[in-house]
Amino acid sequence: MVSRKTTHASVSPKGSLETLSQREVQQLRETGSGSVYALFRQCALAILNTGSHSDNAKTILEAYPDFEIRIHQQDRGIRLELLNAPADAFVDGEMIASTREMLFSALRDIVYTESELAHQRVDFSSSQGITDYVFHLLRNARTLRPGVEPKMVVCWGGHSIGHEEYKYTKTVGHELGLRGLDICTGCGPGVMKGPMKGATIAHAKQRNVGGRYLGLTEPGIIAAEAPNPIVNELVILPDIEKRLEAFVRVGHGIIIFPGGAGTAEELLYLLGILMHPDNRDLPFPLILTGPRSASAYLQQLHDFIGATLGSDAQQRYQIILHDPAQVAREMAQGIKAVTQFRRERNDAFHFNWLLKIDEQFQHPFEPTHDNMANLKLTREQPVHELAAHLRRAFSGIVSGNVKDQGIRRIEQHGPYRLAGDKAIMQPLDRLLQAFVEQHRMKLPGNTAYVPCYQLVD
């Protein structure tokens, strides 16, 4: 292992952590020693590595085994002391401003979540309670800005894509930025960075100084997908379900770029919600796009949706091949409809209260072999429920491919067994095969892909 340059430093907060009561400072200090310490340390290390080229969480964490972070109480507030921190986060001994900001964003969100849980202020048993929780966390992060016209575009897709696809995401971001739109992503590399980079240049060209680059992440993934340095607002949601809900409630439209099983999961999540009868009349611009070389990929995805969820589901999105300006024009147009709709309904611009999210999309799915086997992959149910089951299937595959616990499960019990109607299983099989062939099944190493699933008719 290469030894890295490290440094010691002491930083004071900016933003909402500047004015704390003594009670709150006390809580924070506990963060510095108690059970959440590991969580915070891990997020902090990821943030201090912002812009580093490694996307391997383990590598980063192992590279700084001596890294420590201490929270000091002082009458005036708090101060963080960093020991053996990555030297790249500093310029001539001073921490880079954005890094400092993100560091305290992480602390803010972790402490908020802990505090809400400790005081049992969240009602996790109801859909409304979970939505309120997501809202409060985002508001506490000062992400919700009243009165601002809708212009937040969420970009989803793979974090590890080819150069041509990456370049394409930059060009799309550039066209979005030229039209005054902001970008929200999962805040890591690849599709999470490209559109922000393009929009940055475009906002500069349009002399638009308030451009927002919102990154929504989770503690479990931040180390692998360290926030790219363009992110100027960082929010850490506690898990993937809250994070997905945050995306669809703060975004005014979504663009899906090429990706792997994870991206398919996201698309199914969103379609599952949009197919809910309550959301029938709700405008929600959704565009699938990619460069010319992604043509086959987009067709397969489209066919799969048609074969499983039907043509109604296909009506909820547009596919635009290799035309960044057209993507941006359609998105701008779609967001105008959203603005009009919210204005008529007197709904907030900053949070999509009217979107109905079924509780089954709000609670986490645990991909055990039993749960996977019991997924109901049949036509005998409302389409939005089928979408929910399909999403879980992909969620499980992602886990079996790359997540620690999932891999162990596969090692112990063999591949997952997914059963269902032929009319669903066959398209699923074709899609997964295509992912394998196109090397979109991300693997920890570089070995040939051995499927973690088995389709059963």
- Of 170, 159, 161, whose CA–CA distance to 199 is shortest? 170
Shortest distance in whole angstroms from residue 133 CB to its own copies: 9
CA distance 366 to 373: 12
Please report how close the Cβ of residue 369 comes to its own copies at its closest, in angstroms: 39
Give the footprint of its own copies on residues 388-447 (CB under 8 A): none
* Residue 41: strand, helix, or coil: helix
281 makes contact with its own copies (CB under 8 A): no
Query: What SS3 state is found at 455?
Result: strand
Structure tokens given for 61: 């964490």
Kindly state whether residue 19 participates in binding its own copies, applying the rule CB under 8 A: yes
Q: Shortest approach of its own copies to residue 175 CB, angstroms?
A: 8
Maximum alpha-carbon separation in the chain = 67
- 125 counts as binding its own copies under rule CB under 8 A: no
For residue 346, state whether it binds its own copies (rule: CB under 8 A). Answer: yes
Among 205, 363, 413, 439, binds its own copies (CB under 8 A): 205
DSSP state of 207: T
Which of 128, 295, 340, 454 forms a contact with its own copies (CB under 8 A)? 128
d(CA 86, CA 84): 7
**Binding of its own copies by 132 (CB under 8 A):** yes
Nearer to its own copies, 346 or 447 (CB): 346
Examine residue 209 and tell whether it contacts its own copies (CB under 8 A): yes
Q: Are 64 and 41 in contact (CB under 8 A)?
A: no
Among the candidate windows 88-96, 233-241, 408-416, 428-436, which touches its own copies by CB under 8 A? 88-96
Measured distance CA(114)–CA(50) in Å, rounded: 25
- Which of 5, 53, 119, 163 binds its own copies (CB under 8 A)? It is 119
Number of H helices, E strands in the chain: 17, 14
Min separation Cβ 99 and its own copies, Å: 8
Say whether 154 sits in a helix, a strand or coil.
Answer: strand
Nearer to its own copies, 131 or 263 (CB): 131
Q: Is 91 in the site for its own copies (CB under 8 A)?
A: yes
Contact positions with its own copies (CB under 8 A) in 139-198? 139, 144-147, 175, 178-179
Residue 337, interface with its own copies (CB under 8 A)?
no
Region for residue 386 given its phi and psi (left: phi exceeds 0; alpha: psi -120 to 50; beta: otherwise): alpha
Q: How many CB atoms lie within 10 A of CB 312?
A: 13
Q: Of 65, 69, 10, whose CA–CA distance to 39 is shortest?
A: 69
Task: Give whole-number Cα distances, 127 to 241, 358, 455, in Å.
Answer: 12, 7, 33
Q: Site size for its own copies, by CB under 8 A?
A: 53
Q: Which residues lie near its own copies (CB under 8 A)? A: 18-19, 21-23, 74-77, 91-92, 96-99, 101, 119, 121, 128, 131-132, 135-136, 139, 144-147, 175, 178-179, 200-201, 204-209, 229-230, 232, 329, 342, 345-351, 353-354
